[in-house]
Amino acid sequence: MVISGPSGVGKGTIVDELLLRFPTTSLSVSCTTRAPRDGEKDGVNYFFITKHEFKEIIEKGGFLEYSEHFDNFYGTPRKFVEEKLEEGDVILEIEVDGALQVKNAMPEALLVMIEPPSREELYRRLKARGTESEEKIARRMERYDYEISKSYLYDFEVINDDLETAVDEVEAILKRRF
């Protein structure tokens, strides 16, 4: 299952809750060239690598998908996902360009777009999270329109207004109760 949605919409919060509910479901850990945020751990939140290392993995065909985003590269390690799929469901939390590459490579993937109740609420959540500067928040808000414009290419759209309701809806999709 691939989960996308604008930065700050609550993807990470929803995924954390799903992982608690389903211990055999795993979260794919992506590679990124961006710097770790406070509290982020290598191998847990991301594999933090250099642009040079990222290019080497591209050349070896090691990514299931990758894209450039906010001046950095992000990619899903192919082997990591294939191994985890042997144990159970795998969730990828990635942006739209990468999600569509996954759908091409694996048509059985379920694409879920998480949407905020409103643009204003998204801004409020990004501010409240307090991990980005005002300039970075502005860039993430610009990206919002692009992400939402691609929703029609997704299999499901879930509005994250009440958290519990949103998690229940994503759980139903994961367990293919649709």
Site residues for ligand ADP, 112-171, by CB under 6 A, read: 125, 128-129, 160, 163
CA distance 167 to 173: 10
Q: How far is the CB of 94 from ligand ADP (least distance, A)?
A: 11
115 binds ligand 5GP (CB under 6 A): no
Q: What does each C-alpha distance from 39 to 2, 36, 124, 133 come to in angstroms?
A: 25, 8, 22, 17
Instruction: Answer yes or no: are the C-beta atoms of 33 and 97 closer than 8 Å.
Output: no
91 binds ligand 5GP (CB under 6 A): no
84 binds ligand ADP (CB under 6 A): no
Strands 31-32, 72-77: parallel, antiparallel or unpaired by DSSP?
antiparallel
Out of 1, 2, 10, 76, point to the residue binding ligand ADP (CB under 6 A).
Answer: 10
Tokens 């959540």 locate to 125
| 53 token code pair | 């290392």
SS3 at position 42:
strand
65 binds ligand 5GP (CB under 6 A): yes
Torsion sign, CA atoms 39, 45, 50, 51: negative
75 binds ligand 5GP (CB under 6 A): yes
11 binds ligand ADP (CB under 6 A): yes
**Which residue, 27 or 57, has its beta carbon nearer to ligand ADP?**
27
Selected range binding ligand 5GP among 74-82, 119-127, 154-162, 163-171, rule: CB under 6 A: 74-82
CA angle 79, 169, 80 (to 5 degrees): 5
**Which residue, 133 or 177, has its beta carbon nearer to ligand 5GP?**
133
Residues within the interface to ligand ADP (CB under 6 A): 5, 7-13, 125, 128-129, 160, 163
